[in-house]
Structure 1
Amino acid sequence: MKYSVTTYPPAPQHPVRVLDGVLRYAPIGDLKLETGGVLPDVVLGYETWGELNSDASNAVLVPHALTGSTHVAQGSSDEPGWWDGLVGPGKTIDTDRFFVVSINMLGGCYGSTGPGSADPDGLPWGSRFPFVTIRDSVHAEARLADQLGIRRWHTVLGGSLGGARALEWAVTEPERVARCAVIAATAASTGEQIAFAQAQVAAIRLDPDYNGGDYYNGRAPVAGLGLARRIAHITYRSEAELQYRFGRTPQPGEDPLGAALPAERGRYQVESYLDHQGTKLAGRFDANSYVILTEALMSHDVTRDRGSLSEALAAVRAQFLVAAVDSDRLYFPEQSYELAAALPGENRVHLISAPIGHDGFLTDVLQLRDVLRKDFFG
């Protein structure tokens, strides 16, 4: 598989109403980064659904997860969205009433400036793309909100990396977030979460085709990216789900004890499942973006340069909803309780009951439908 450098069409105008669920591009200029560098000529990819009202009070921001895209919901095309059950006409986040925006995170590969984008000389950034943080992305997204005429979000909500971005929005731009939902996410990445992430990044960097990140004129490191996805996917699913679905069952037609050499043996079904997940992601995602976004999530810490967690959260103005998946073994529910306890006022944790594990924030998010309608979108 080969990747080519990403270039962008001319910047569109921003009418009040555009086609729902269509990727658009917005140039936001040079961006100063937390590390002190400057990323020039930044472009953000984004999609919208619904219509911004006259006082821009109905805007909802939905950040995506690590390998997610801006396509939250089905729009003018038939392509399904990753939160279709939650966002759309007549749904919990009703696009007949609300103007929904999703922005590809800085460093991503679904429309925003990232390692596969052209630098000012027209060459792919590759290994020269700078380290970016979630806080950097929030600063960039705030500029896009300005261009769209949105001074304050009615709600910012997301899960996993999207939840971390939602929380960072509420802390970095407290006057611009009225309501914030943090789902299956934490206030800071823990040592264990960083360890899982480091193994994924190492898998990509150790692929000979990675070439230090400069592979855009050659073969992409699909083996390393596929291995990274295997590692990640194990953390996204629970032990109980893997045991129930696969257990020790061999892949049909294959015998795990059917060869004298390990490399020639048949696979278990769970191995075939992980192979499928790795191949699927490697076919749609850029390895460099996976590294950039993973390391941004590793750096996630809303207390950085802000004191204790309670001190960091003291300035927030948003009404909060904190939710966790009860079977999550990547972002433990206890970490959501810690976040809720540190927020100003009384904040309970809403548990999504799902045997699947962390990915329950995607598969079972409709369990939050009633509380979201009551507290945010009624």
Structure 2
Amino acid sequence: MPSVARSVPVTPQQHTGEIPAISLRGVRKEFSGGVVAVHDLDLDIAEGEFVTLLGPSGSGKTTVLRLIAGFEQPTAGTVLLRDRDVTTAPPFDRDVHTVFQDYALFPHLSVLRNVEYPLRIARVPRAERRERALAALATVRLEGLEDRNPTALSGGQRQRVALARALVDRPAVLLLDEPLGALDLKLREQMQIELKEIQRSSGITFVFVTHDQDEALTLADRTIVFSEGRVAQSGSPQEVYERPTSSFVAGFVGTSNVLAGEAAESVLGRDGSWSIRPEKISVAAADTPAVPDRTSADGVVEELVYTGATTRCVVALEAGGVLSALLLNGGADGQPLSRGQAVRLSWKPEHEVRLM
């Protein structure tokens, strides 16, 4: 796994000119034993931006979230919220709320009283408290369930209660620590759409931590990929997916092929390492004429992996190396493929991305 020599400044891609909702300057976090979880990070997140922090376990993404929330103190550096230095401020003295994977609802309180709880702590009058809690429940589409106990709700409903409680006093920043991880696939996909709608309608800055690549790409205005405590790449989901800057990002965000060494020189006529996404590659019979404006490579089908709507075709190239192609309905030109079959792969040159 390649590491990045230093953390590069990560700036907002929108709302230019405004004071960022979050600014981290030279933030470093070391744990006992000399373990460095975050290396000298500079990061800006704009007001109203939906940012996902993406990376494998141990990459530093959750530590960054905890530093913003105040659950951890940086070893060095500064944490700013709306230009206010909160580096040493406790969590309750930051205009930030956190939604955890386990929801952390009070089982002995009704849904309404769970949502009201932050307002009770803030000594908001009872009538206003109820009005704002009911409005928050309406935002997450839980009208009519205010008297129910959380234990009587589904996982998706409990997640929405946790969101309503976090949103009820309109924090400057909402931090979400893998909140959809405990949900099944269908419910997780539904909640992804609803989360995006809630963020857009509320205008609150969302920072969402996940190790799920599809989730990060689906939700974000901007995806920040972490590796070994540093930022490996930052950009729009489309930019990070379509134009990865390193072998790590190409391999971690979605599935990618990498052509390098002699295989790259033989197939592409260039040295270096190059990424080509499987869905950009077409598969045809071996005797299909080459198309002038497309790169082509011959090989033999090594494996076919059926996934329902698509089939992943793994091809061992004559030039060396292996490429995977993603095919709808598992066929080439409408004809089924088989292991050991000779095929010709082709793709557009603009889909070849140089890796650093």
Do the structures match in fold with TM over 0.5? no
Q: Which has the higher helix share?
A: 1
Larger radius of gyration: 2
TM-score (norm 2): 0.23
Q: TM-score, normalised by structure 1?
A: 0.22
